[in-house]
Amino acid sequence: MKNVILLTSVKLTNNMVTLRNKAAEFVKRQDGVTAIEYAVIAVAISGMLMVVFGSEDGSFIKSITDKFSVLTDNINNTVNQ
């Protein structure tokens, strides 16, 4: 009877150690988590770019073009004076 209890105790201890080692290995491996994080960031950036550059009226692009036109005119007027 003592041998059965001792053998059961040893097997239980071995299983607990194996489980602890597998849990520690799982926590150390974070390749999948990193890939998912990068995918989420890429989707967020794509969405922002679509909103900024893909609007139907093109207000952002038109605004930048207008500002560069004003800047170009100011530089040309300064040079010509």
What pTM value is reported for the model? Answer: 0.38
Q: Is the pLDDT of residue 73 over 80?
A: yes
- Contact 24/31 with Cβ under 8 angstroms? no
Q: Is the pLDDT of residue 57 over 80?
A: no
Report the alpha-carbon distance of residue 39 to residue 31 in Å, rounded: 12
Q: What is the mean pLDDT of residues 5-30?
A: 77
Q: In angstroms, what is the C-alpha Rg of the chain?
A: 32
Mean pLDDT score of the chain: 79
In three-state secondary structure terms, 81 is coil
- Contact 54/47 with Cβ under 8 angstroms? no
